[in-house]
Chains A and B, each alone.
Chain A
């Protein structure tokens, strides 16, 4: 009996070692990006996609129903307020359209490449979020079938959400700006001082490489700099929460509260390439 148990345990150790080796090989970048492995992931994601949609819709339906019941009381007042806001925004849109046309004409006259982001916005719904605390990732219901490509920027009405990093046929994964591996070139909207914003999983974003001579104040708006091909210039990233400057440092540490409330987002826009 003892030998039987010991033999089984040894075979288990053997399989653990084999598994470790397989996982190491699978994570080698060239293997990870290889066609067969991407195909397996693509098939798995396509098969699971409708179920994600159903689960998400069921959750959304149940929570919005419950929320709606409790909010019914103030809905009349809110409705009137929203109608007034819509009128105001419609007027602004007319003005902006005119400005946009004028801008395009002038760019055309100067032979500039069109940077009109508005015409490239693709609405998308969030159908899943990373279950792991190590990654800040969401999944959206748009994929290569909708012309979504890797490194497309993702925004919502509040500001910058992240960028697409893994595209399947009908869905894509978006790396949020709050992920520690995310890096976005940003600038202070009031002083134009530049830095790199990266996430810290939970809590504020950290701005690195912000020069110690830069005058950054609490409450300053931080926007994308447009220095990369991924994020267009001027998208709201957040508001400065704290500034930590030491005399002997060449860079200052800046914490930024993200503009987007990531625990509540359900709809986003992909800026297609």
Chain B
């Protein structure tokens, strides 16, 4: 039952991402709220649960997205890395989530670029556009993070059940 609730929550966040968040782009760059949720989860519960959350979030995006199966792997690794280094790198102070999301955005960007361009040879935007996208999405994702603290509280209740 708990797993169904978690999956349904992820699907709802995904729907919110593709219908609302993807329209609210800044200079054409969209925020990735599933990345924010994965990062917050990994920071709170560590590598193992971060890995699973990233895997679920990425799978929903991959299965419904219709392109490459890559988000499952990039977000699962991301959840694992953020969870692993949460105390040694980020510390445990308040506001750590914002820094963690910025680091997660860069890590996810590198992972997805590696998978897409170097592994599958898919054409990507020019280096200048890529750099601009990375900077803007880092700031955008970090600024949106506090809005997802209530989602995390709801998630915490599900995990504690």
Instruction: Report how far A154 CA is from B156 CA in the complex, Å.
Output: 44
Contacting pair B19 A56 (CB below 8 A): yes
Contacting pair B48 A8 (CB below 8 A): yes
Instruction: Report how far A23 CA is from B129 CA in the complex, Å.
Output: 27
Contacting pair B19 A128 (CB below 8 A): yes
Write out the residue numbers on chain A whose beta carbons fall within 8 Å of the beta carbon of B68.
Answer: 27
Instruction: Report how far A166 CA is from B64 CA in the complex, Å.
Output: 11
Contacting pair B125 A19 (CB below 8 A): no
Write out the residue numbers on chain B whose beta carbons fall within 8 Å of the beta carbon of A16.
Answer: 51, 76-77, 80
B14 is an interface residue with CB less than 8 A from chain A:
yes
B53 is an interface residue with CB less than 8 A from chain A:
no
A214 is an interface residue with CB less than 8 A from chain B:
no
Task: Tell me the smallest distance from the CB of A120 to a CB of chain B, in Å.
Answer: 24
Instruction: Report how far A130 CA is from B126 CA in the complex, Å.
Output: 19
In this complex, what residue of A is CB-closest to B130? Answer: A201
Contacting pair B11 A55 (CB below 8 A): no
A111 is an interface residue with CB less than 8 A from chain B:
no
- Find the residue from B14, B18, B129, B132 having the highest chain A CB count within 10 A: B18
Q: Tell which of B55, B63, B80, B124 touches A134, judged by Cβ atoms closer than 8 Å.
A: B124
- List CB contacts (< 8 Å) of B111-128 with chain A: 112, 116, 120, 122-126
User: If the complex has contacts A55-B19, A200-B129, are A48 and B116 also in contact, measured as CB distance less than 8 A?
Assistant: no
A45 is an interface residue with CB less than 8 A from chain B:
yes
- List CB contacts (< 8 Å) of A124-167 with chain B: 127-135, 137, 139, 165-166
- Find the residue from B34, B47, B68, B125 having the highest chain A CB count within 10 A: B125
Contacting pair B133 A59 (CB below 8 A): no
Write out the residue numbers on chain A whose beta carbons fall within 8 Å of the beta carbon of B92.
Answer: none
A1-17 CB mask vs B (1 if < 8 Å, else 0) is: 00000001100100110
Contacting pair A200 B126 (CB below 8 A): yes
Contacting pair B18 A40 (CB below 8 A): no
Binds A, one of B24-32, B95-103, B145-153: B24-32
Write out the residue numbers on chain A whose beta carbons fall within 8 Å of the beta carbon of B61.
Answer: 131-132
Task: Tell me the smallest distance from the CB of A138 to a CB of chain B, in Å.
Answer: 9
- List CB contacts (< 8 Å) of A191-210 with chain B: 198-203
B46-62 CB mask vs A (1 if < 8 Å, else 0) is: 01100100010000010
Contacting pair B64 A48 (CB below 8 A): yes
Instruction: Report how far A36 CA is from B68 CA in the complex, Å.
Output: 16
Instruction: Report how far A26 CA is from B59 CA in the complex, Å.
Output: 12
Q: Tell which of A19, A45, A52 touches B15, judged by Cβ atoms closer than 8 Å.
A: A52
B73 is an interface residue with CB less than 8 A from chain A:
yes
A103 is an interface residue with CB less than 8 A from chain B:
no
- List CB contacts (< 8 Å) of A32-60 with chain B: 32, 40-41, 44-45, 48, 51-52, 55-56, 59
Write out the residue numbers on chain B whose beta carbons fall within 8 Å of the beta carbon of A202.
Answer: 27-29, 125, 129, 132-133
Contacting pair B23 A263 (CB below 8 A): yes
Instruction: Report how far A202 CA is from B135 CA in the complex, Å.
Output: 14
Write out the residue numbers on chain A whose beta carbons fall within 8 Å of the beta carbon of B154.
Answer: none
B70 is an interface residue with CB less than 8 A from chain A:
yes
Write out the residue numbers on chain B whose beta carbons fall within 8 Å of the beta carbon of A129.
Answer: 18-19, 22-23
User: If the complex has contacts A8-B48, A137-B66, A203-B28, are A55 and B20 also in contact, measured as CB distance less than 8 A?
Assistant: yes
Write out the residue numbers on chain B whose beta carbons fall within 8 Å of the beta carbon of A165.
Answer: 66
With A32-B69, A44-B64 known, 15 other A-B pairs at CB within 8 A are A12-B47, A56-B19, A59-B19, A127-B19, A129-B22, A130-B65, A131-B18, A131-B32, A131-B34, A132-B61, A132-B65, A165-B66, A200-B126, A201-B28, A202-B129
**13 cross-chain CB contacts under 8 A:** A12-B80, A16-B76, A48-B11, A52-B15, A128-B22, A131-B18, A132-B61, A133-B133, A137-B66, A137-B67, A166-B66, A173-B66, A202-B27
Residues of chain B at the chain A interface (Cβ within 8 Å): 11, 14-23, 25, 27-30, 32-34, 47-48, 51, 55, 61, 63-73, 76-77, 80, 112, 116, 120, 122-126, 129, 132-133, 137
